[in-house]
């Protein structure tokens, strides 16, 4: 018999154990999404799995209070991409099925995290003698809490005089040598200009190791629409600068972004935020472990620049995007539409 077919047949036979109504009802309750679904659980899972910065964005849109502290440990690394399938719901079940890592009640073994803050009555854990050894290196996939990639999760919210209302970085994708970085700002007024600068097409704005690329006027209002900064981050890595250049923007990133890429800087440039006041050469200090994002400019100098600042002309002043640009909040407030 075909080995794969044989394994799935045995898997199906195991489910026959659920023939009586009591056990079938118990399994149905355990598998119910509603039994596990909650906003805190969703945000925690995003942090645990090293999700993209969009998780903080969504939370801000749902919750009007400050972005909650994202303190769960990061148990999965998004790189290399080829391993992501091992964490997925259906792919993981199929993978574990192949190696008979499913017990007779259909529960996935060794893949339970119990949160004592959660009042959900979970299924009882399976007996220790039912556990089969994993056939892949768990330290290279979904880790135990004791060997987490980081103790405080995949996302970090940074505050400082450059981001008074916060900015977000996907800590799980930052190289250790870039967790603390200080360098001169190289400022671009759009994603397109930044791409040209990173590729060396702008003579007076060539990006070199140690620099901090700043892309502004790409936030919800400035864009408008807050497009992904995927191209600039890809070019930074492609130019061999991923471990020596940081990127800061009031725009957002793709879930596949890696490196010292800090987004959602709020207030955004289009509403007069500090990111719109910095100048080429200003020293930018990034301290991810201490959750700090600063520009080495005095408060008096920033105030003087603010007095001279004038809002740029709207990129869209008609149609839906024109309305959106007038009504949208910044990223720290979820980029939702408000009438006031």
User: Is the model's pLDDT at 308 over the cut of 50?
Assistant: yes
What is the percentage of the chain residues whose pLDDT exceeds 90? 23
| pLDDT, tens digit (0-9, with 9 covering 90-100), for 14-28 | 544 444 444 555 555
Which residues neighbour 310 within 8 Å (Cβ) at sequence distance 6 or greater?
none
Q: What is the pLDDT, as a whole number, of residue 63?
A: 54
Residues 331/229, Cβ–Cβ less than 8 Å: no
* pLDDT bracket for residue 104 (50, 70, 90): very low
DSSP β-ladder status, 283-287 and 180-188:
antiparallel
Residues 202/196, Cβ–Cβ less than 8 Å: yes
| pLDDT, tens digit (0-9, with 9 covering 90-100), for 37-53 | 666 666 667 666 666 66
Pick the CATH number of 155-333 from 3.50.30.80, 3.90.1200.10, 1.20.1070.10, 3.50.40.10: 3.50.30.80
Q: What is the pLDDT, as a whole number, of residue 125?
A: 43
Which residues neighbour 150 within 8 Å (Cβ) at sequence distance 6 or greater?
73, 74, 171, 172
Q: What is the pLDDT, as a whole number, of residue 300?
A: 94
* pLDDT bracket for residue 259 (50, 70, 90): confident
Q: What are the structural domain ranges in the chain?
A: 3-147, 155-333
Residue closest to 43 by CA, chosen among 14, 28, 65: 65
User: Is the model's pLDDT at 86 over the cut of 90?
Assistant: no
Determine whether 254 is an active site residue. Answer: yes
Which of 59-68, 74-83, 288-297 bottoms out in mean pLDDT, i.e. has the lowest? 59-68
User: Is the model's pLDDT at 124 over the cut of 50?
Assistant: no
Q: What is the pLDDT, as a whole number, of residue 210?
A: 94
d(CA 325, CA 223): 8
DSSP β-ladder status, 292-295 and 163-170:
unpaired
Three-class DSSP category at 63: coil
Q: What is the pLDDT, as a whole number, of residue 57?
A: 62
* pLDDT bracket for residue 336 (50, 70, 90): confident
| pLDDT, tens digit (0-9, with 9 covering 90-100), for 194-238 | 999 898 888 878 899 999 999 999 888 888 888 888 888 888 988
Average pLDDT over residues 311-330: 80
Residue closest to 217 by CA, chosen among 89, 318, 84, 312: 312
Q: What is the pLDDT, as a whole number, of residue 248?
A: 96
Catalytic position from the list 104, 138, 190, 254: 254
Angle between helices 3-15 and 89-98 (to 10 degrees): 110
């Amino acid at each position: 018999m075909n080995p794969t077919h044989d394994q799935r047949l045995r898997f199906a036979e195991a489910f026959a154990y659920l023939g009586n109504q009591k056990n079938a009802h118990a399994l149905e309750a355990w598998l119910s999404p509603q039994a596990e679904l909650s906003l805190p659980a969703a945000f925690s899972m995003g942090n645990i799995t090293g999700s993209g910065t969009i998780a903080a964005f969504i939370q801000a849109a749902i919750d009007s209070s400050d972005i909650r502290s994202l303190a769960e440990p990061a148990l999965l690394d998004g790189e290399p991409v080829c391993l992501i399938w091992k964490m997925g719901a259906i792919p993981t079940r199929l993978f574990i099925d192949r190696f008979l890592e499913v017990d007779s009640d259909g529960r996935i073994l060794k893949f339970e995290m119990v949160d004592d803050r959660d009042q959900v009555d979970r299924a009882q854990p399976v007996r220790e003698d039912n556990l089969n050894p994993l056939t892949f290196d768990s330290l290279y996939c979904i880790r135990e809490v004791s060997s987490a990639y980081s103790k405080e999760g995949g996302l970090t919210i940074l505050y400082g005089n450059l981001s008074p209302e916060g900015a977000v970085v996907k800590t799980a994708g930052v190289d250790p040598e870039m967790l603390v970085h200080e360098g001169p700002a190289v400022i671009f007024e759009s994603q397109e200009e930044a791409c040209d600068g990173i590729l060396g097409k702008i003579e007076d704005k060539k990006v070199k190791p140690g620099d901090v690329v700043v892309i502004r006027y790409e936030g919800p209002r400035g864009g408008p629409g807050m497009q992904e900064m995927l191209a600039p981050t890809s070019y930074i890595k492609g130019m061999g600068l991923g471990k020596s250049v940081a990127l800061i923007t009031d725009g957002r990133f793709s879930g596949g972004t890696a490196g010292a890429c800090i987004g959602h800087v709020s207030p955004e440039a289009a509403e007069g935020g500090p990111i719109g006041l910095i100048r080429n050469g200003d020293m930018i200090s990034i301290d991810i472990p201490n959750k700090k994002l600063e520009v080495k400019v005095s408060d008096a100098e920033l105030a003087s620049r603010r007095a001279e600042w004038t809002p740029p002309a709207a990129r869209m002043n008609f149609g839906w995007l024109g309305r959106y640009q007038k009504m949208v909040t910044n990223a720290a407030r979820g980029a939702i539409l408000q009438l006031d």
